[in-house]
Amino acid sequence: MAGVSENRWRSIVLGTVNSLERRLVGALVLIAISIGALQVFSQYSAREVSNRSLDVQTAAEDMQHAQQLGELVGEFRIAGNARLSRLSTDDQGTLLTDIAIQIGEQLNALRLSGMPLYRIGPDMAAFDDLDRQVDAIMAVPREPARLEGVIQRNVMLADLASAIAMTAAERRDAAQAQLDRAVTDWQLTVSAAGAVTVVLVILILFDLLANILPALRRMHGMLRRLADGDLDFEVEKFRLRELEDLSRPLEIFRRNAQAVQNLALTDPSTGMPNRRAFLERTGARLADAAAKGGPRHLLMLVDVDRFKHVNDDFGHAAGDRVVKLIGERMTETLGPGALVARLGGDEFALCLPLDGEADGSAVASRLVAAIRPPFDLGTYAIAVTISVGTVEAAPADAVAIEELLHRADLALYAAKNGGRNRALGFAPELEEDRELDRALERDLARALLGGQLRMVYQPILPLHEADPEVEALIRWEHPELGDISPARFIPAAERSGLMVQLGNWIIERTLSDLTRWPGIALSINLSPLQLQQDGFVPFLLDRCRHHAISPRRVILEVTESLSIENNSRALLTLELLRNAGFRIALDDFGTGYSSLSMLKTFKFDRLKIDRSLIDDLASDSSAQAVFEAAVTMALRIGAQVVAEGISDEKLIAPVLAAGCTHLQGFHCSRPIEADAVAAHFKIREVAAGDPASGQVPGTLAA
């Protein structure tokens, strides 16, 4: 019984010590009443602060929706103006409709949050029938009289969006003011109760000064930090039950507010900073460096090369995992001082200070090398490469962050066009190159229809008894820029979406020419995009039937950059083409994308050794050894070997000694026009259906 009684008293003592109310009740009834009032007021104020905090959160979300509404209205006007100025096609209607739907979604979100949009004015009805505005914009080219009304309504929409944003800002400011008043009221309540307590009972002054008031001050400080928007701290846990009860909802509120803030500044898939966070933090870094004379900064834009293959072959979940691992490896490589952000998809932005004489290009090259080792995903590993564009920002530079990113993007664009898997720094001439590429993309469609494109044919010399061959090469004579290299306009065709149309034109034109040259085989270069095209195999077979060309007379060349070992669709397409009778050649073998697994994955009929392995054969024994090894490997798997780039007589002997089956190059023959092919091979050119050709239109020659 004595033990039970002792435990009971211990429990009562601990309960009194840990309770503000019991401590004061134990001193004086009057103090107990005062402290009880303090408790009531504190709880009421806490709820008021919590309610006002929720109001601030709701108002902030309304402000965000209003800003997004303004941005969407701006995009709607830009897209509409593009249509009105006839800079776009009828497909612009789809874009306008999508933007109109997003505008409606933002308005609905504002209405659901309780924002009184009806107070903006009667003109709010202009948002209710945006589909009519879209129809009016699309109809202006046919009905010019509607132009003025469309423009006026677009201006009205922009004004309304601005008014909504202003209203949302006012609501947010009002909610913030109410929260501040609630906090202030709470402070006054606590201070008054504490003062009454000190006056009423001197006996508990020490307790108030040593324990209660410091706890309240700490709570007050946390409330002030929360009111000021500071969320980077953890709400303290208190021994006093009343304060602990208050700290828990405050901590929940802080975590929720921090989650909302992080959501706006963090990429959800990787947890890395997003574009907005990168712009804000990088801008702050550059401003601080300019104000304090800090170090130079290196900005980099990074793009994962051919990342679409990773998603296609391994799935989007694996792709997301690889993106996260890439971000972690870049952070590890560059150190804690680097800011690494994900802009979206497989694009990253980086910013890091450059100390002393540090070379930005060396840092970027080190980053490229660091990404090359495969990433371990457990059951398999994935190897990727990156392309990097860099720009340096000195403290004295007054260049906006967006302009710096634009320059880095130009350098990235040049790095990808230059072969990928590399880093390139910004140079002023890149602006001119980018403009030229855009002009090529714009003019290529007209070139297809305007007769600016033509085909030439470079003979391929067989070293043993075999049919003569030619490789089809496309040429573009631009009316203003002159002859454009295929290495320049083929990537432009791939970027602009014209590659399939251009490839179909090449196939149709070359097969038509081939009907005139009996007994000659034809090599055609294929783009990776053509192998991804739906219906490409039936299309090619149909054109061969139409021109009465046997598939055995056609050799289809693909480059090593295709990476068919990781592209199941391309591999299937090549298998179907080979089964249909076409011969498949691997072009540019040895240019840096070589993979022995490709030769195991697919049985190529022919390997074309790139000229980079041939140029030094006559003078470099190491080059001779590498070349002979490549030829021997090709012959061992049963493939023919074409030595490209034979530009000099002295290259003939080592090529013959290595065992090549075909030669191609300027020393053998330069590309010739279609009308000169028959004379070059000393054959009689025939018309389609000529009995001498051994072919009948509409049938497939044996």
Q: Which CATH code for domain 452-683?
A: 3.20.20.450
Q: How far apart are CA 410 and CA 428, in angstroms?
A: 10
Burial bucket for residue 556 (CB in 10 Å: 0-12, 13-18, 19+): buried
Question: Quick one: pLDDT at residue 63?
Answer: 82
Using an 8 Å Cβ cutoff, are 100 and 131 in contact?
Answer: yes
Question: What pTM did the predictor assign?
Answer: 0.51
Assign 473 a pLDDT band (cuts: 50, 70, 90): very high
Q: Could you tell me the pLDDT band of residue 10, with boundaries at 50, 70 and 90?
A: low
What is the fold of 275-427? Alpha-Beta Plaits (3.30.70)
Q: Which of 129-143, 149-163, 240-254, 624-638 has the highest mean pLDDT?
A: 624-638
Asked whether the predicted pLDDT for residue 325 surpasses 80, the reply is: yes
> What per-residue confidence (pLDDT) applies to 643?
92
Average pLDDT estimate for 256-271: 72
For residue 24, pLDDT over 70 is answered with no
Residue range 441-464: mean pLDDT, rounded? 87
Distances from the Cα of 135 to the Cα of 77, 412, 628, 699, angstroms: 14, 39, 67, 50
Closest CA to 491 of 527, 458, 532: 527
* Contact of 420 with 387, CB cutoff 8 Å: yes
In this prediction, residue 341 carries a pLDDT of: 93
User: Can you name the residues that pair with 608 across neighbouring β-strands?
Assistant: 642
The domain limits of the chain are 18-48+183-263, 61-179, 275-427, 452-683
Whats the size of the chain, residue-wise?
702
Q: Average of pLDDT values for 138-142?
A: 73
Nearest to 49 by CA among 261, 258, 219, 234: 219
Contact by Cβ (8 Å): 20, 140: no
- pLDDT per position as a tens digit, 670-680: 999 999 999 99
247-259, pLDDT tens digit by residue? Answer: 777 777 777 766 6
Q: What is the pLDDT of residue 9?
A: 65
Does the domain spanning 61-179 belong to CATH 1.20.1440? yes
What is the band of 123 on the pLDDT scale with cuts at 50, 70, 90?
low
pLDDT in tens, 212-237: 777 778 777 877 877 776 666 677 77
Q: How many CB atoms lie within 10 A of CB 168?
A: 24
